[in-house]
Amino acid sequence: MMIFNPERMAFGRHETFALRYGWLSKGFQAMTKDSGIFESDEATVELGVGKNMVSAIKYWLRACRMIDPVENKSTDLGDNILSSEDGYDPYLEDEATIWLLHWLLATNAELATSWFWFFNRFHKPDFTGQELGTALADFVNDKVINRKKPALATLSNDAGLIPRMYTLSTGNTRTPIEDALDSPFSLLKLVTQSAGGRSYQSRPMARPDLPLGILGFAVCEMFEMKNTRAIPIEDFMYSKDNYPAIGSVFRLTESDLVAKLERLVNYIPGVFDIRDTAGQHQLYLSEETDAMTFIIEHYENPSKEIAA
């Protein structure tokens, strides 16, 4: 699911609605009460949104890996985070949860292909909405060979939605209140808008707010995906061979990524180790560890993050 496969891509499944703040919690909790809620006539009443938005909420829950991509059931990760009974952060009050959801979305090559592309393949630090749309269409044209290509309008909608979801709204008073409710991802400041609003920036920088527990989860997922015990630091920085890359997804500078990985080694001792092998900086997995261990560590020992 996290490895890009041109045979398995999805575009435009969000009905043109950006993810909104309460949607994941509301949708997840409604589904755990009634697994058929998204298909039911009660959904619009239960969720308090229009019919198209019901589909959008279901899509975003799947794209963020909170519910199963096929069946109407929660994933273990969804239960751990969003369960109203014993989830760690059912109402997204901890910014770490937003970083985690961002990783889960931007690495979901199969269900959120445009997001995977933008965060792993698109490296222009400054761009306009039009440039983004053209670059996405070029990528799809280049990759989709054996199957029907998505309509240009669909790609254009995706390209428009990415910056909308990741930038803070400019506070235009004429914007309807519903649309002005920023997506949770705008908090992360991974994309910013120029003063005139005509162009965007998405640059690598030091990100002191990215919690080590979330980084550790992402690193574990990389080891799992690659099915190896050693990964060159460079492969964490730049997307290669259809894999996502942590440095790209979190828009980190190389020096900040290395500094964070060095701190991660001490976050849960004995799991990771950095070594130089034949002149190459590599991160080693010393002990097989479930990625969830790092999530639990973050939520159960929050003071440890600050100390790290």
Residues 277-288 pLDDT 10s = 888 899 999 999
**pLDDT tens, residue by residue, 190-204:** 999 988 878 999 999
**Three-state SS for 83?**
coil
Q: Report the alpha-carbon distance of residue 113 to residue 133 in Å, rounded.
A: 14
285 in the same domain as 265: yes
160 in the same domain as 112: yes
173 — pLDDT class (breaks 50, 70, 90) = very low
Which region among 113-117, 187-191, 193-197, 250-254 has the lowest average model confidence (pLDDT)? 193-197
State which residues form the domain around 233.
212-307
Residue 171 scores a pLDDT above 60: no
**pLDDT tens, residue by residue, 21-33:** 899 999 999 999 9
The HSE-up count of residue 271 (CA atoms within 13 Å, CB side) is 21
242 in the same domain as 266: yes
Residue 139 lies in a domain: yes
* Distance set, CA 284 to CA 24, 157, 186 (Å): 35, 40, 33
84 in the same domain as 48: yes
Q: How many structural domains are present in the chain?
A: 3
Which region among 24-33, 99-108, 163-172 has the lowest average model confidence (pLDDT)? 163-172
Q: Report the alpha-carbon distance of residue 162 to residue 185 in Å, rounded.
A: 10
Residue 175 scores a pLDDT above 80: no
117 in the same domain as 75: no
Q: Which of 174-178, 240-244, 261-265, 298-302 has the highest mean pLDDT?
A: 261-265
229 — pLDDT class (breaks 50, 70, 90) = very high
308 — pLDDT class (breaks 50, 70, 90) = low
Residue 35 lies in a domain: yes
143 — pLDDT class (breaks 50, 70, 90) = confident
Phi and psi at residue 8, in whole multiples of 5°?
A: -130, 85
The pTM score is: 0.94
Residue 5 lies in a domain: no
Examine the fold and report which residue of 50, 66, 91 is the final residue of a domain before the chain moves on: 91
Average pLDDT value for the chain = 91
pLDDT of amino acid 172: 52
Q: Report the alpha-carbon distance of residue 11 to residue 117 in Å, rounded.
A: 11
Q: Report the alpha-carbon distance of residue 284 to residue 170 in Å, rounded.
A: 44
Examine the fold and report which residue of 37, 57, 91 is the final residue of a domain before the chain moves on: 91
192 in the same domain as 232: no
Examine the fold and report which residue of 36, 57, 91 is the final residue of a domain before the chain moves on: 91
